[in-house]
Structure 1
Amino acid sequence: MVLALAGCGAPAATSPGPPSSGRSSSTPSSSSAAPAAAELAGVDALEAAYAARVGVWALDTGTGQVLEHRADERFAHASTLKLLLVGLLLDRVPDAELDAVVPIGADDVLEYAPVTSQHVGTGLPLRELMAAAITVSDNTAANLLVARLGGPAQVQAALRELGNPTTRVDRVEPDLNEALPGDPRDTSTPADLGATVQQLVLGDVLAPDRRALLQQWLRENTTGDAAIRAGVPEGWEVGDKTGSGGYGTRNDVAVVQPDDGGAPLVVVLLTDRGVPDADADDGLLADATRLVVDQLAR
Structure 2
Amino acid sequence: MLVRRFQRVGIALLALFALVGCAGVEASPPKAEARTSSAEAKDRFAGLEQRFDARLGVYAVDTATGEEVTHRADERFAHASTYKALSAGVVLRRNSIGGLNRRIHYSRSDLVTYSPITKKHVDTGMTLRAVLDAAIRYSDNTAANLLFREIGGPAALQAALRGIGDTTIHVDRTEPELNRRSAPDDIRDTSTPRAMAETLRKFTVGDVLAPDKRAILNEMLRTAKLTGDLVRAGVPSGWEVGDKSGAAEYGTRNDIAVIRPPGRAPVVLAVMSDRQSRDAEYDDALIAQAARQVVDVLR
Which structure dedicates a bigger proportion of its chain to helix? 2
Report deviation, 1:35: 2.4
- Aligned equivalent of 1:7: none
Alignment of 1:222-261 (within 5 A): 222-259=225-262, 261=263
Alignment of 1:162-201 (within 5 A): 162-179=164-181, 180-201=183-204
Q: Which amino acid aligns with 1:237?
A: E
Residue segments in structure 1 that go unaligned for 5+ positions in a row = 1-31
Q: Which amino acid aligns with 2:200?
A: V
- Aligned equivalent of 2:273: 271
- Comparing 172-181 and 144-153, the one that deviates more: 172-181
Given that residues 104 and 116 in structure 1 are in contact (C-alpha distance below 8 angstroms), is that contact kept between their aligned partners in structure 2? Answer: no
The residue matched to 1:229 in structure 2 has which SS? Answer: helix
Looking at structure 2, the residues matched to 73 and 207 of structure 1 have their Cα atoms a distance apart, in angstroms, of 31
Looking at structure 2, the residues matched to 69 and 200 of structure 1 have their Cα atoms a distance apart, in angstroms, of 23
Deviations 1:162-197 (A, max 9, x none): 100110000001011113311100000111111100
- Aligned equivalent of 1:213: 216
User: Which among 23, 33, 40 is matched to residue 35 of structure 1?
Assistant: 33
Report deviation, 1:277: 1.1
Given that residues 170 and 188 in structure 2 are in contact (C-alpha distance below 8 angstroms), is that contact kept between their aligned partners in structure 1? Answer: yes
Runs of 4+ aligned residues of structure 1 deviating over 4 Å after TM superposition are none
Report deviation, 1:121: 2.5
Looking at structure 2, the residues matched to 95 and 218 of structure 1 have their Cα atoms a distance apart, in angstroms, of 18
Tell whether 2:84 aligns with 1:82. yes
Report deviation, 1:111: 1.9
Q: 1:34 to 1:91 in 2, by over 3 A?
A: farther
Q: Which amino acid aligns with 2:281?
A: D
Deviations 1:266-296 (A, max 9, x none): 0100000121111110000011011100011
Q: 1:244 to 1:94 in 2, by over 3 A?
A: same
Looking at structure 2, the residues matched to 72 and 278 of structure 1 have their Cα atoms a distance apart, in angstroms, of 23
- Aligned equivalent of 1:73: 75
Report deviation, 1:93: 1.1
Based on CA coordinates, which of the two structures has the bigger radius of gyration? 2
Q: Which amino acid aligns with 2:50?
A: A
Deviations 1:221-277 (A, max 9, x none): 011100000000111110000000001000000001113x11111010000012111
Backbone CA RMSD of aligned residues:
1.4
Deviations 1:8-40 (A, max 9, x none): xxxxxxxxxxxxxxxxxxxxxxxx955235253
Tell whether 2:138 aligns with 1:140. no
Tell whether 2:279 aligns with 1:281. no
Report the TM-score when normalising by structure 1: 0.87
The residue matched to 1:38 in structure 2 has which SS? Answer: helix
Looking at structure 1, the residues matched to 31 and 202 of structure 2 have their Cα atoms a distance apart, in angstroms, of 19
Looking at structure 1, the residues matched to 260 and 98 of structure 2 have their Cα atoms a distance apart, in angstroms, of 32
Looking at structure 2, the residues matched to 95 and 64 of structure 1 have their Cα atoms a distance apart, in angstroms, of 32
Residue segments in structure 2 that go unaligned for 5+ positions in a row = 1-29
The residue matched to 2:188 in structure 1 has which SS? Answer: coil
Looking at structure 1, the residues matched to 244 and 199 of structure 2 have their Cα atoms a distance apart, in angstroms, of 13
Tell whether 2:52 aligns with 1:50. yes
- Aligned equivalent of 1:123: 125
Aligned length in residues: 266
Identity %: 50
Looking at structure 1, the residues matched to 36 and 125 of structure 2 have their Cα atoms a distance apart, in angstroms, of 47
Report the TM-score when normalising by structure 2: 0.87
Deviations 1:47-66 (A, max 9, x none): 00100000000001111001
